[in-house]
Amino acid sequence: MSRRIEFTAQGGPEVLSLVSRPVPEPGEGEVRVRNHAIGLNFIDTYQRSGLYPVASLPSGLGSEGAGVVEAVGPGVTTFQPGDRVAYGTGPLGAYAEHHVLPVAHLVRLPDGIGFEQAAAIMLKGLTVQYLFRQTHVLQAGDTVLFHAAAGGVGLLACQWARALGVRLIGTAGGPDKVARALAAGAWAGIDYDREDVVARVHALTEGRKCPVVYDGVGAATWATSLDCVAPRGLLVSFGNASGPVTGVNLGILAQKGSLYVTRPTLGTYASTPERLQAMADELFGLVQQGAITVEIGQRFALADAAEAHRALAGRGTVGSTVLLP
């Protein structure tokens, strides 16, 4: 038998239950991974709550983990039992001791990267990779704004920006979190609980504002983000931590300076096994070089997934969080 987290109705953390099921068998083109560590991400709370509907109920949860290939299905030739692997792009069901997934979602895990490290950074690190290296290719000397810079994605973004020579202005709630962003590599920090973000961005950029603003917060920061984008600049809206952005008036983009807006997803950028592995290789390379340090702020047992969700939603976490089966 294999333990996993399931939910039969969408709602709050209380809908998550630990159940035992037969160990799943991989089908055509699939592998079974025995998880050693599982990643926790905000998107998990969206899928649990119903903001992002799931295909059917009951459903598993989670799309990120790392472990060892235990079995392969027919037609799988690129991986074999015993291989160390990681994944961050689904399908749902990673909150489990065993996870069966299509081979196209797996990447090889270098010996120098631990299972907890990989589970903590796959989704977040690949997100930063496409934001900084594909959605807009950042260059040394660029000045960008990144909201929630002390979160799991944000702390990786601060480090990656420093490695690229990019001046990242990070927002965070409270002096402690601002200090964390600065320690991770942010060029400047803004405490959005106490400071006017737009005014500070104007001051820091001498009125030029930022050619790119990265907003994973959503509804609460949308208007602020628009006011921080330089004319003909780009607003990258990549998350909904405070709720989805709705009712967008395209005329605002003209009024603010002929702005561009994109709503990217990791799946679009990591759309083939080759692209996914190349993105992961760049991420793992930065970790191995010491340019990125993986901070795991919290560890929860798999059975305590609901408690982990409450901590995440309540802004009670720092860095990355992993579940241990």
How many domains does the structure of the chain reveal?
Answer: 2
Q: Within this chain, do residues 108 and 19 fall inside the same structural domain, yes or no?
A: yes
pLDDT value of position 242: 80
**Residue 316 pLDDT greater than 80, yes or no:** no
**Backbone phi, psi, residue 244, to 5°:** -75, 150
3-state secondary structure of 32: strand
Q: Which of 238, 263, 288 is the last residue of a domain?
A: 263
Distance between CA atoms of residues 9 and 58, nearest Å: 7
pLDDT grade, residue 240 (50/70/90)? Answer: confident
Q: Within this chain, do residues 104 and 196 fall inside the same structural domain, yes or no?
A: no
Distance between CA atoms of residues 242 and 109, nearest Å: 33
Q: Which of 213, 239, 263 is the last residue of a domain?
A: 263
Residue 233: CATH number of its domain: 3.40.50.720
Q: Within this chain, do residues 291 and 230 fall inside the same structural domain, yes or no?
A: no
Helix (H) or strand (E) holding 62: none
Residue identified by tokens 């079995």 is 71
pLDDT value of position 167: 98
Average pLDDT, the chain: 95
Q: Is the dihedral of CA 177, 87, 114, 19 positive or negative?
A: positive
Distance between CA atoms of residues 102 and 273, nearest Å: 10
pLDDT grade, residue 318 (50/70/90)? Answer: confident
Give residue-wise pLDDT tens across range 259-290: 999 999 999 999 999 999 999 999 999 999 99
Q: Which of 263, 289, 306 is the last residue of a domain?
A: 263
Q: For residue 79, which of 36, 30, 116, 145 has the smallest C-alpha distance? A: 30
Is 211 part of a structural domain of the chain? yes
pLDDT value of position 243: 81
Distance between CA atoms of residues 295 and 121, nearest Å: 9
Angle between helices 115-130 and 273-289 (to 10 degrees): 110
More confident residue, 143 or 248: 143
Residue 113: CATH number of its domain: 3.90.180.10
Give residue-wise pLDDT tens across range 150-203: 988 999 999 999 999 999 999 999 999 999 999 999 999 999 999 999 999 999
pLDDT value of position 314: 85
Is 151 part of a structural domain of the chain? yes
Question: Averaged over 49-78, what is the pLDDT?
Answer: 95
Residues 6+ apart with CB under 8 A from 324: 37, 38, 116, 299, 300, 301, 302
Residue 323 near residue 301 (C-beta atoms within 8 A): yes
Domain that holds residue 240: 140-263
pLDDT value of position 35: 98
